[in-house]
Amino acid sequence: MASDVDRVVAKITPSVPRGTHIVVRGQVASMRSSFIGLGLGVLFAMVLVYLLLVINFQSWLDPLVIVMALPGHCAASCGCCS
């Protein structure tokens, strides 16, 4: 929804009078910064889990296979793939 509003603002901005600024207010900025922080946190957690598996298995390839197989296993176990 926020990207749609940004597109409309970008489309209207050239036609407003000089000295006029359109500012999107509300929770959009905090929402975007929260999602960036969430994405970085998930990425860091994935790297940390992979490195812990590397230490436990003493191999670089075995943990990679395990980590790549997890999304498919989770989807199949919850019944998303019928």
Instruction: Please report, in angstroms and rounded to a whole number, the separation of the first and last CA atoms in the chain.
Output: 32
pLDDT at position 82, please? 62
Evaluate whether 24 touches 9 at the Cβ level (below 8 Å).
yes
Check pLDDT > 70 for residue 48: yes
Enter the pTM of the model. 0.64
pLDDT at position 41, please? 97
Cα separations in angstroms, 50 against 47, 59, 70, 72? 5, 11, 12, 17
